[in-house]
Structure 1
Amino acid sequence: MLQYENILLDTTKRKNHAKDSFHYFFIYKIQYEKEITLEGLQTLNHLLNTTKVLKNSDITNTSILIAARSGNLSPWAEKAKEVIINCGFNTSFSIEQIKLYKFNGKLSFNEVGENLDLIYDKMTQYCLVTKPDIHEYFKKEISSKKGKRLETIPLSKITKYNKKMGLALSELEIDYLKKMYTKLKRSPRDIELMMFAQINSEHCRHKIFNSKINTNKSKKETSLFKLIKKTFKKKNTDVVSAYTDNCSIIKSNKMNSLYTDIVTKKYKYKKEDGLYIVKAETHNHPTAIAPHAGAATGSGGELRDEGATGRGSIPKVGFTGYTLSNLCIPKNNNQWEKKSIGTPGRIKTPLEIIIEAPIGAASYNNEFGRPNIFGYFRTCEFNLIPIKSNIKSIGYHKPIMIAGGVGVIRNSHIHKNKLRQDDLIIILGGPSYLIGLGGGAASSLSSGSSSESLDFSSVQRDNPEVERRCQEVISQCVYLDKQTPIKSIHDIGAGGLCNAVPEIVNDSGRGAKIFMSKIPVGESSMKPLEIWCNESQERYVIVIDSKDLSLFDSICDRENCPYSVIGNVTAAKDLVVYDTDDKTKAIDLPMSYLLGKPPIKPININGYNKINLKKKHSYASFDKCVHDIMSLPSVSDKGFLITIGDRSVTGLVARDQMIGANQTPVSNVGITMSDLGSSSGQVITMGERPAIAITNPEASVEIAFGEVITNIACSYVKDLSKIKLSANWMASSKNSNEIESLYLAVKKISSLCVQNNITIPVGKDSLSMNTSWKTNKLSHNVESPVSLILSAFCSIDNVNEIVTPELKGDGELFLIDLSEGKERMGGSSFHQIHNIIDPDVPKIDNTENISLFFNFIQTLVKSKTISAYHDKSDGGLFTTLSEMAFAGNISIDIFKSLEKYYDEIHMKKFFFNEELGAVVEVPKKYMNIFNKLVEKNKVESFVIPLGKSIKSSIPNFSIKSYKDIIYPLTTLRKYWSKLSYNIQELRDNPSTAKEEYNNKIISHEKFKPLVDKITFPLSSIKIKKIKLNRKPKVAILREQGVNGHKEMAHAFMMSGFEAHDVHINDILKGNIKMQSYEGLIACGGFSYGDVLGAGKGWASKILFNDKVKDDLQIFFNDKNKFGLGICNGCQMLSQLRSIIPGTNNWPLFNQNKSKQFEARLSRVKINKSKSLFMTGMEGSILPIIVSHGEGRAVFSDKRNKSNAIISYVDAKNKKTTKYPFNPNGSVNGSNGFTNNDGRITIMMPHPERLFTLNQYSYHPDDWKISPWSKIFINARNWLK
């Protein structure tokens, strides 16, 4: 909500007199069973940056207080409590952060009071505006809830209870329940009905996809799921697991896995067979009602799915995507958005969603430590003709929010073990809260059909730092290979424990005995139903053998990860759950009643009625179309979605969204390496085209499928059959016509995949994609068309065998057109800006063209015949060419054609149709080879000459037609990047948003490539021979929440060191002494979620624990030791100046000037310094990765600002404070420092993530080795 809050408050300040202003500050509500001592108060003041205790007089009649909803302990409070406990307080301590606005006059107070929804989120916060209410908030204690703990529901009232609680049970299911409980000779309890509803919800059990389908053309029964399974054949031997686990498991290249020895803590490598896992799922309902939390927990849930595959696995890279209704940014006044209808008050507007949701997903991935390297964003909304008082629209008021990823699993962990009687059932992760209650059922309802109180109940909250700790536990178990204590693991997602526990034991044909008293809860007043059925995130169910409890406990203890043994597996196939008194049975049911086969209503397909609307015949001018199409969300610059997400953590990313030296977000794919230092890996991409489905669902699927192929073809993957797809389906199941549309779409993708031998081993569906509400006497209904989101994955041998969209210049341009000259405009961006629904849509007319195209492009890529490649999709050919020009800052000259674009009508058709295809740039010297390959691959009918690429002094895009058209790239970039600027202006610091927008445009004023500079011979990057026989030990230091340790360990290991995994707890417990190491490296991440300031929790744990503090002080004062702090490690070490000699000139690090997390490939100059790491590198200007939210250096003495060892530089290689060249706003570009003798160095950027050339998003072609590897070699050469 900070985005809107900033706008509202800034506006209020401008409107009112200075004397009638306001300010806000944070206050803290603290509860502690003991009286806080003076020393304790001083500790709290240090941690919280507080100066006084709040008094009654501080609350006035013009105060507004924003606080977490009662019973909803915020993630901030949970993290802060852990830091404070580690600094000497006991576990009874609790704290909550509150924002208090104080107004000096009524004018400002009244204006803000009239817009309260802009400064708080009613789904997760309270807003108190009267003095008595505020005082009452601080006085009251959380009281126990009234009412029965367990409620029995008479059979005759199940229907009424179903509606009241929003259980989404069908009549068939209610009848089934009545028969079931009649056999049991009792009535159901509320907890049992809620559990049954979650387990058997559409969201969890996919009833429509498993329903029998009867068509009027065939008596043969099938199901949608069977159609998907048809794509999986026995000859698909590379698919190891499909449809049976949280993710699909696929064979890959051999890999050299980096792991830690559980005894010695030494990092080691092990060569083994490579397996990767894939998954994609949506989180639509939660994102509609609470976008930040909804998208965050969507990413978190998908991450848990990956970690809980087999007997435990490790996520690697992720992706996200969003489909929304029109944004309607007020000042844009777009013609196609003028007829957009509003939204009901209980869900967020599309604009609010796109501002808040991506931050939620990105921040979760950032804090967890998974790079997000691909995605998409589209809007789609059309108004249909109103019928009486019913206004119907096509759109995405209930948004699509998709999250997916790729992970890695070991061969020994593919299959979950069979469970035995008395095996222990464990919850790994945080406590239960009254949040996300009934989410599985709520997600199965259309938005607006449940009560507002149920929407409140289904809101979720995120704490990625806890999930990071859980994953560290899982990872440590994975490192144990066959000795892992984990027999089976299941993530706790939709339905909570009531879904996860029955599933994990039922897979082995067992039952369970559970004690609620053992389930950790954040609120003692929670009822059994709330404990058992809530969807609190960051939790897993794990089953282990009782003999392995000691081992599992030691791993959890080291990682500060909470867990609890809540029961055991039973031979009897019953689920028995005891209330907190350990005597009363809250649940006692046969497993077969819960996870048997409740009846599913069959689906009858009688025929599909296509929507046909009259075409509009008056179109905007070509220039206006260019402006509007380039401004569409599906076409325009996605930078605002990309730079907020870490795309380099793990060190395993070979290709992200950014292309070229100027980092233009136009990549066709994302690529991850198999392991650190590897040249093999996996490529991912996406395809979707929902607007076409409005009139032709089969064509929509064909074009989405085709987009996946045209995207992934830029990377050499050898064969189509290696591609694996995740199919995620969205539709409105309330509409029979849409169900029939869904059937046709599923049947089509099944057929396409079978014909091309492509498998769909994983996927999901969300079939309640409609929103209904009433205003006055009008009924509103927004329904989404059938929407298929395809995510594609493929193993590749060489991550460098890829051609990007970056034009190099002096080449010939060709369109490779799969449609062989067709120009169908239906479902295009061109029609979207004119609000036209047209049934004449693109499709795949000849399926053989797919393989012909793919094989041809693969030959071009492998033979290096082409120098640039970009698929043709949203926005058509004009957009494709423009994006290629942006990436290379190269001019395009399109030849005159008397056949294709001889007048304005045909210009629009040729340049704006979205038929499948791609554009390639062929260097002139390879034209003969290209022509021969065209003939050899029999694709002459595909190839259309377009023009040429030119390195001109002023880059432009020219078309010779009935009139010559010339667009300076500055003009096109202004159109293309405007939406990104509009969002950043609302969401981030408006001044930096404007600065970046201007710099994007200015970058195309002239053709002037960025010039990097290396002042040392790359051949000098080697370990001195005399030092090769010894490997000094270095401590790769981490704390909970740190996530950059493995890539750091790899960099030091490859530089002649023996790297050890050292947790702060190892020092605290006396298990190791830092004197046994010659180097200390503090890694990047989010220690304690940066809750009290970046690195502060980590530093405070050291400073307030004498054992750790003294050990580190001895180390830092030893002249034979060195230290390095990167990112979070830099922030932490900067706060240990009292124990590190010669650091008085070091700054602290505050929030970036943009007020946003910044992930970029920036450029820095290495200054003259004593730092042992930078020896011999002075004067070099190099690209480097930055990924931080608090990197702005702030000096206590301004004279120290010139002491930086590295500084950010602009396009002219001058030190700069300009954004985004300087991503955080540090004075003079300063972002790296060393102590007086050069032994201890801190820096915010990440050289360890650029140790090899494969890790660069961009680097000059003549580089043969990464120059940043020198700093690690320097460290080795400094030691004896």
Structure 2
Amino acid sequence: PVSAVDALADLERHLDGETVMTRDDATVDRELAELERAAQKTLDLEELARMRGTEPGARGDAYAAQAYGAKIGAAVAAADAVGERIASGTATGTALPYVPAAGAAASTRAVVSPVTLVVTAFGPVNDVRKAMTPELRGEGHELLLVDLGAGQGRLGGSCLAQVFGQLGDVPPDLDDPKRLANLYDALQDLLVKTKLTAYHDRSDGGLVVTALEMAFASGLGLELDVTAVHVDPFAALFAEELGAIIEVAAADVHQVTAALVNTGARVHAIGRASRGNHVRIAHAGKLVVDTQRTQLRARWSHVTYEIQRLRDDPTCAAEEHATRLDPAAPGLSAHLTFDPNPGPPRDQIPGGPPKKVTSPRVAILREQGVNGQIEMATAFHLAGFEPVDVHMTDLIEGRVDLSDMRGVVACGGFSFGDVLGAGRGWASTFRYNARANAALAAFLARDNTFLLGVCNGCQMLADLADQLPGAAHWPRFVRNRSEQFEAREVMLGIAESPSIFFRGMAGSRIPVATSHGEGRAELAPAQLVAIEQSGLVAARFVDGRGEIATTYPANPNGSPNGIAALTTADGRLTIMMPHPERVFRNVLMSWHPREWTFDRSPWMRMFANARTWVG
């Protein structure tokens, strides 16, 4: 096979204007066969060292690794050069090298396998609110296929070919890079003008899978006709040519089509999303697909489900799969019982007299491994506090004693890597250090202070519950029922409770971020009854209908009765597993209702409540 050095030389000649030698199919097949044999062959370290031109042994292997790293570095540099040529519009093609890799399988053996260089591009996003998702609007909107394949419908290497055990003939290709650049510019312009309501690129599976994924994300049906896409229905539905499906308001179809056709792309009106569960796709006057969306999603999700039930808790896997296949499942939703956008404080109204306000100080507390302090500090700052970065070593060594703080917030993360159990190591720092323990006790003895624990901070404070006034009822938090780390957006229902953080929010249902592996509240039956009777549950996980979530994934950790936040009788102490500080702006949410056009999310009310309580 061609070596990395040879490939780099080819690339260099290409960039300098020389012609890169094209290998015929027989040569490529022979090289692939050699690569396969090399990947299956095991070598002892002496032979591997000889191949690398070094002596065996630790020192020689280290030198080999350095030389090998240099080759990879050269490949990356070559890729950078390609990127520069593409960016300048001077590159008409690229030839990227592959670099073989060797990984030690044992002290005397190594397995050699080829590694492909992956080139990734990044670019700035000026306004994330202009980003498109596959979520469809449906009624009053039309779906357009934007085709950069010039109607060729090439099926080589496609998923359809794989299903039939074939490689296929001609694969899709970027025949004219300029058209791609023009299309990108046109789409950006349409985004700025808010002419697009949904977008999804055509890739694995072709048009039909692209459209279905949009329907799955939206809980809608489809009414499509792909006759104009290609004379062959298989090519129309399954070709993986470059392109996208976009959704456009019916009144904007003509304007959008004209703008996209002007880029050199072909544009076809293919139908629309429909309310309900039905999927109908026609070609040349015949109905080629006539089924239910949930039946197609059952097939689409089947492999995921089978893997999930073997890897995770099988009951959780079954519950999530059942939700996917429920045509009446509402998905995420929201309901507010308060004004989320009341306007600026009186002292900040433009034209009003300046008013000097002393910001109360709040300790943003962290330990080794905690990573949520920046978002937390920002949320409290926006609410009118002066956040102060306090590390546990500041308390232990006496640099900070909390005497001038009105609040202490224990942030989320992974203190001590959770090796002693989530939050337990952090709690032990308080429990077994006299100075830190005394500082916290003196802080809580003042009745004008508050304490908040989020995620890892929640777990830590729960472990200290026996030392916190009014917190004896708090549970320990243990491994999620799913047996997996859960990072997702879920719904949180605010309960009626004394918590100072949730005043005026009871009855609201708000999307929130969760990110934890040990969030299940462990409660004995009698303890659960006592907590429910006390009225000290501050928030619960709820489903899209607003009911208490008892199944996965609406209840991501399996806590009984959906318990997600707890407080004390005086409301000064609150712990919660979800992360409101990660979604204090609407743009930080994975999903929120379209009508939430204001900047700060409803979760800012929680931090503003604390500021109001402090006075």
TM-score (norm 1): 0.41
Deviations 1:798-833 (A, max 9, x none): 121211111110211111111110111111111122
Q: Does 2:477 correspond to 1:1149?
A: yes
2:507 & 2:381 partners in 1: Cα distance?
27
How many angstroms does 1:933 deviate by?
Answer: 2.3
Question: Is the contact between residue 1127 and residue 1246 of structure 1 (CA under 8 Å) also seen in structure 2?
Answer: yes
Whether the aligned pair in 2 keeps the contact of 1:1171 and 1:1237 (CA below 8 Å) is yes
Residue 1200 of structure 1 and its aligned partner are, at CA, apart by 3.5
Paired position in structure 2 for 1:1015? 337
- Amino acid in structure 1 at the alignment position of 2:338: F
2:259: which partner in 1?
933
SS in 1 for 2:89: helix
Paired amino acid for 2:268: I
Q: Which residue of 2 aligns with 1:974?
A: 298
Q: Check whether the contact 1:829–1:875 (CA below 8 A) recurs between aligned residues.
A: yes
Q: Secondary structure of the equivalent of 1:1115?
A: helix
Shift of 1:955: 4.5
Letter in 1 for 2:281: S
The match for 2:183 is 853
Query: Corresponding residue for 2:580?
Result: 1247
Q: Which amino acid aligns with 1:871?
A: D
Partner Cα separation in structure 2 for residue 1258 and residue 756 of structure 1: 40
CA positional deviation for 1:1096: 0.3
Distance change (3 Å), C-alpha of 1:1083 and 1:1215: same
Question: 1:748, 1:836 → 2: CA distance?
Answer: 33
Shift of 1:1092: 1.4
2:137 is the counterpart of 1:808? yes
Q: 1:958 aligns with which of 268, 272, 281?
A: 281
How far apart are 1:210 and its partner, in Å?
5.2
- Does the 8 Å CA contact 1:1171/1:1241 hold for their aligned counterparts? yes
Which residue pairs with 2:440 in the alignment?
Answer: 1112
Question: What corresponds to 1:843 in structure 2?
Answer: 173
Deviations 1:939-991 (A, max 9, x none): 4x5112211222x1335353355335213110111111112212211211111
Secondary structure at the residue paired with 2:128?
A: coil
- 2:469 and 2:344 map into 1 onto residues whose CA distance is 30
Asked whether the equivalents of residues 477 and 519 of structure 2 are also in contact (C-alpha less than 8 Å), the reply is yes
Which residue of 81, 100, 114 maps to 1:767? 100
1:1159 aligns with 2:487: yes
Describe how 1:748-767 pairs up with structure 2 within 5 A.
752=86, 754-755=88-89, 766-767=99-100
Are 2:152 and 1:822 aligned? Answer: yes
Structure 1: distance between partners of 2:439 and 2:561? 35
1:1129 corresponds to: 457
Give the equivalent residue in structure 2 for 1:918: 244
Deviations 1:112-143 (A, max 9, x none): xxxxxxxxxxxxxxxxxxxxxxxxxxxxxxxx
Classify the secondary structure of the residue corresponding to 1:1152.
Answer: coil
Tell me which amino acid in the other structure corresponds to 1:874: D
1:63 aligns to what? Answer: none
1:339-383 CA-to-partner distances (Å, cap 9, x unmatched) read xxxxxxxxxxxxxxxxxxxxxxxxxxxxxxxxxxxxxxxxxxxxx
- Give the structure 2 partner of residue 990 of structure 1: 314
Q: CA deviation at 1:1095?
A: 0.1
Residue 840 of structure 1 deviates from its aligned partner by: 1.2
Find out whether 1:1271 has 2:590 as its counterpart. no
Look up the equivalent residue of 2:222 and give its one-letter code: I
- Map Cα deviations across residues 1135-1182 of structure 1 (whole Å, 9 max, x no partner): 111221001221110100001100110001100011101011010001
Equivalent pair of 2:202/2:242 in contact (CA under 8 Å):
yes
Any idea what SS the aligned residue of 1:1206 has? strand
Provide the C-alpha distance between the structure 1 equivalents of 2:148 and 2:101, rounded to a whole number of angstroms. Answer: 35
Which amino acid counterpart does residue 996 of structure 1 have in structure 2? E
Aligned partner of 2:568 in structure 1 is: 1235
Distance (whole Å) between structure 1 residues aligned to residue 461 and residue 581 of structure 2: 18
Change (3 A) 1:980 1:782: farther
> Which of 422, 425, 428 is the matching residue for 1:1094?
422
The alignment status of 1:1213 with 2:556, answered yes or no, reads: no
Q: 1:789 aligns with which of 100, 118, 126?
A: 118
Question: Offset at 1:1266?
Answer: 0.5
Matches within 5 A, 1:652-671: none
Distance 1:879 1:747 in 2: 35
Distance 1:1123 1:1104 in 2: 20
- Residues 1021 and 1273, structure 1, Cα contact 8 Å, conserved in 2: no
Query: 2:408 aligns to what SS in structure 1?
Result: strand
| TM superposition shift of 1:1038 | 0.6
Instruction: Kindly indicate whether the alpha-carbon contact (under 8 Å) linking 2:142 and 2:249 is maintained by their aligned counterparts in 1.
Output: yes
- Match of 2:574, SS? strand
**Equivalent residues in 2 for 1:34-433, closer than 5 Å:** 209=4, 222=9, 224=11
The counterpart of 1:1071, out of the listed 373, 390, 399, is 399
* CA–CA separation in structure 2 for the residues paired with 1:750 and 1:836: 37
- Cα distance between partner residues in 1 of 2:568 and 2:165: 63
1:947 aligns with 2:277: no
Write the distance in 2 (CA, Å) between the matches of 1:596 and 1:1278. 60
How far apart, in 1, do the equivalents of 2:548 and 2:331 lie?
A: 18
Q: Which runs of 5+ in 1 are unaligned?
A: 1-206, 214-221, 231-385, 398-444, 456-528, 536-592, 602-725, 730-742, 773-780
* 2:277 and 2:294 in contact (8 A); partners too: no
Task: Give the RMSD, CA atoms, in angstroms.
Answer: 4.0
Checking the alignment, whether the CA contact within 8 Å between 2:278 and 2:292 is kept in structure 1 is yes
Q: Tell me, in whole angstroms, the C-alpha distance in 2 between the residues paired with 1:1016 and 1:1080.
A: 26
Deviation at 1:1075, TM superposition (A): 1.4
1:449 corresponds to:
42
**Structure 2: distance between partners of 1:1146 and 1:1028:** 40
Would the aligned equivalents of 1:1195 and 1:1201 in 2 still touch at CA under 8 Å?
no
Show the counterpart of 2:324. Answer: 1000
1195, 1200, 1219: which one pairs with 2:530?
1200
Q: Which one-letter code corresponds to 2:205 in the other structure?
A: G
Alpha-carbon distance, 1:1106 to partner: 1.3
Conservation of the 8 A alpha-carbon contact between 1:210 and 1:225: no
Q: How far is the alpha carbon of 1:769 from its aligned partner? A: 8.1
Which residue of structure 2 aligns with residue 1055 of structure 1? 383
| 1: CA distance, partners of 2:165 / 2:65 | 47
Query: Deviation per CA, 1:633-691, whole angstroms, max 9, x where unpaired?
Result: xxxxxxxxxxxxxxxxxxxxxxxxxxxxxxxxxxxxxxxxxxxxxxxxxxxxxxxxxxx
Q: Is the 8 A contact 1:393 1:783 kept in 2?
A: no
Q: Does 1:1256 align with 2:589?
A: yes
Q: Relative to 1, partners in 2 of residues 1:747 and 1:1087: Cα closer, same or farther, differing over 3 Å?
A: closer
Contact residue 1135 and residue 1148 of structure 1 kept, 8 A: yes
Shift of 1:758: 11
Return the letter of the residue paired with 2:396. L
How many residues align? The count is: 573
Kindly report which structure 2 residues correspond to 1:698-737, keeping only aligned pairs within 5 A, or say none: none
Q: Distance in 1 between matches of 2:555 and 2:543?
A: 8
Quick one: structure 1 residues 913 and 846, their matched pair in 2 at CA, closer, same or farther if it must change by over 3 Å?
same
Distance 1:1097 1:971, change over 3 A: same
What is aligned with 2:22?
none
SS at match of 2:43: coil
TM-fit CA distance, 1:938 = 4.6
In structure 2, distance between residues paired with 1:1038 and 1:746? 40
Is the contact between residue 99 and residue 116 of structure 2 (CA under 8 Å) also seen in structure 1?
A: no
